Structure 1
Amino acid sequence: MRAAVVTTFGGPEAVRIVETALPEPAAGQVRIKVAAATLNPVDAGVRAGVFGGEGRQNGLGWDVAGTVDATGPAGDTPSGEAWSVGDEVVALFFGMGQPLGTHAEYVVVDSDAVAKAPTTVDAVHAATLPLNALTAVQALDLLELTPGQSLLVTGAAGAVGAYAVQLAAQRGVSVTALARESDEEFVRSLGAAHFASDAVGAGSVDAVLDAAILNETALAWVRDGGVFVGVIPQAAPAPVRGVRTTAVGVKADGARLAELAGLVDEGVLTLRVADTYTLDEAPKAHARLAEGGVRGRLVLIP
């Protein structure tokens, strides 16, 4: 099969399309024939060598939407749901340090990372869900907010931020969206009660979900005794004024992903695709991501 990988670090030109053996699922795994796979900033980090991996093949791609192609022995989820060949699914594949990722024609994924795909959208849109929506919902879990409390989401028009706005609003949290002025109408359509394009008052919100990675700047906007959650593991700012600070490290979770897919079908979550590329065009997609200003996700179609 064909897959996009990096073996030497660099810019978009470092992405290579290689021929490799078809992976076989082991016990508790399924193989998915990839219909679509999203390009995320973490892939650019892998390509540039941010996460290490010098001297080995590094796979690209964490998100996948496609069809179950094969199951390994005892290929059931812990919940007891068995996946069958032909099932249309989405999954988060934790790709850090792996020789192959979802930017390939096939990918093997742990069964408990898989969920039924949303039925109201195509595979290209469904592929944008797993990594960013799971990051958002797991970050909200860390915040432990109750209805009526206030939350500032930085980078609210981005992929993680937009999901966070929608999910928090659904929970009854009063959301202030921090984004560019040109994105005000969009983030308000997601459920943001308030909008800011610049600094907000110091100590003015119960919590911050810092999808824009503003760190200490955003921390100053949390009230004394509030909570701050970042999106880069082990990189949260030090606590001050009794503010609890932490960062989300996204985990594959098929059951939670199934809930998110259900929210897509209910119209709660909006999926955004900026553009599509063939697998052979992966370097071109990386170049577009590097230009910045992408609204929605770039998606590869093998």
Structure 2
Amino acid sequence: MRAVIARAGSPVVEVVDTPDREPGPGQVRIRVAAAAVNPVDSMVLEGAPVRFGLVPAREVFGLGWDVAGEVAGVGAGVTGFAVGDAVLGLRDRLDVRTGAQAEFVVLDADAVGPLPAGLDAIAAATIPLNGLTAWQGLELLDLAAGDTLVVTGAAGAVGGFTVELAAARGVRVVAVAGAADEDFLRGVGAEWFVARGPELADRIRAIVPGGADAALDAAMLGPDALDAVRGGGAFVALNAGAAPPALRGTRVHHVWVRADGARAAELAALADKGGLTLRVAGVIPLADAAEAYAPPTKGGLRGRWVLVP
């Protein structure tokens, strides 16, 4: 089968022929219909997992976390899935030779969930990584209806999902992003909008006196975002390296996304009903995967490139 890989020391992704895999006990083999490209894939390409000691050095790493497709095989002990079922899932292991950007991928069964019949596989492939990160980040914050939440990087994939999911819970959201994204963010549930820039915390505190109850820092602003949170509030960073000190008694967490097929299925069902906005930047054939890794020519990318075999 064909798969997209990163080679140690090379800045260019490759599409290679590699041995196919059969599902082992407790696993599901998926025929890939669509696989999203995320910033974490570029980080793997740049060698970040090895550099930060997350995995041992090796020659080849598979790329791709998000997948939507259909079941092509089930391993021993797997129930609830049959060949031909439409599914989506998340590959959350770093140390693999092939990832979701391939013609087939094998995942643990609990990393896979059913895909609603009305949801297109290409759009669905943008859900698992970023949707689960947003959901799990909100779980760490443990907010109640009426609480206030600052979301930085709100126009990005994790940030956008966080705004929608929080607003659906009755949380009052302050969205932080570029000025051009204000209409979109208000449309998906943000009560307030603050343009990124200097004196961010002061401008947020002018809207929410005393500071917000919590922040999810998708833009990894660190102390600038923390300063917008009240004393004793909560803060979630997207990784440990971006987590600021727990000043003023703030509960500081970082979210390492974990695969959760059942929750991914809930997010897909929510999207199918119009409760979650899915954004696809464009569709690229798997053979041309390198195009999806090229830096944007201007501005930030809204949505995700999706590879199709």
Instruction: Verify same fold: TM over 0.5.
Output: yes
**Residue of structure 1 aligned with 2:244, choices 216, 226, 237:** 237
In structure 2, C-alpha distance between the alignment counterparts of 1:55 and 1:289, rounded to whole Å: 29
TM-score (norm 2): 0.92
Specify the alignment match of 2:276 in structure 1.
269
Mapped contact 1:10–1:49 kept (Cα < 8 A) = no
In structure 2, C-alpha distance between the alignment counterparts of 1:123 and 1:9, rounded to whole Å: 33
Mapped contact 1:153–1:165 kept (Cα < 8 A) = yes
Specify the alignment match of 1:217 in structure 2.
224
Specify the alignment match of 1:62 in structure 2.
65
1:160 aligns with 2:158: yes
Alpha-carbon offset, residue 10 of structure 1: 3.9
**Residue of structure 2 aligned with 1:177, choices 156, 165, 175:** 175
Secondary structure at the aligned position of 1:224 is classed as strand
**Residue of structure 2 aligned with 1:34, choices 32, 37, 40:** 32
Alpha-carbon offset, residue 301 of structure 1: 0.5
Output one character per residue of 1:187-240: Cα deviation in whole Å (capped at 9) or x when no partner: 001100100003134552111000011011100100011011011145411101
In structure 2, C-alpha distance between the alignment counterparts of 1:90 and 1:266, rounded to whole Å: 17
For structure 1, list consecutive stretches of 5 or more residues without a partner in the other structure. 77-81
For structure 2, list consecutive stretches of 5 or more residues without a partner in the other structure. 51-55
Mapped contact 2:26–2:76 kept (Cα < 8 A) = yes
Specify the alignment match of 1:279 in structure 2.
286
In structure 2, C-alpha distance between the alignment counterparts of 1:132 and 1:9, rounded to whole Å: 27
Specify the alignment match of 1:204 in structure 2.
211
Alpha-carbon offset, residue 275 of structure 1: 0.8
TM-score (norm 1): 0.94
**Residue of structure 1 aligned with 2:143, choices 145, 148, 165:** 145
In structure 2, C-alpha distance between the alignment counterparts of 1:93 and 1:278, rounded to whole Å: 20
Specify the alignment match of 2:261 in structure 1.
254
Letter in structure 2 aligned against 1:45: M
Letter in structure 2 aligned against 1:100: T
Alpha-carbon offset, residue 265 of structure 1: 1.7
**Residue of structure 1 aligned with 2:120, choices 97, 110, 122:** 122
In structure 2, C-alpha distance between the alignment counterparts of 1:290 and 1:130, rounded to whole Å: 26
Specify the alignment match of 1:79 in structure 2.
none
Specify the alignment match of 1:134 in structure 2.
132
In structure 1, C-alpha distance between the alignment counterparts of 2:23 and 2:41, rounded to whole Å: 24
C-alpha spacing 1:176/1:216, structure 2 compared with 1 (3 Å)? same
In structure 2, C-alpha distance between the alignment counterparts of 1:297 and 1:255, rounded to whole Å: 23
**Residue of structure 1 aligned with 2:15, choices 10, 17, 38:** 17
Alpha-carbon offset, residue 292 of structure 1: 5.6
Mapped contact 2:4–2:15 kept (Cα < 8 A) = yes
Secondary structure at the aligned position of 1:67 is classed as strand
Secondary structure at the aligned position of 2:122 is classed as helix
Letter in structure 2 aligned against 1:21: P
Secondary structure at the aligned position of 2:248 is classed as coil
Secondary structure at the aligned position of 1:212 is classed as coil
Mapped contact 1:180–1:197 kept (Cα < 8 A) = yes
Specify the alignment match of 1:188 in structure 2.
186
Identity percentage over the alignment? 49
C-alpha spacing 1:277/1:207, structure 2 compared with 1 (3 Å)? same
Letter in structure 1 aligned against 2:264: L
1:91 aligns with 2:89: yes
RMSD: 1.4
Larger mean Cα displacement after TM superposition, 287-296 or 93-102: 287-296
Secondary structure at the aligned position of 2:175 is classed as strand
1:2 aligns with 2:2: yes
**Residue of structure 1 aligned with 2:76, choices 70, 73, 77:** 73
Mapped contact 2:119–2:268 kept (Cα < 8 A) = no
Larger mean Cα displacement after TM superposition, 289-298 or 145-154: 289-298
Specify the alignment match of 2:108 in structure 1.
110
C-alpha spacing 1:73/1:292, structure 2 compared with 1 (3 Å)? farther
In structure 2, C-alpha distance between the alignment counterparts of 1:264 and 1:32, rounded to whole Å: 21
In structure 2, C-alpha distance between the alignment counterparts of 1:291 and 1:92, rounded to whole Å: 29
Alpha-carbon offset, residue 289 of structure 1: 5.3
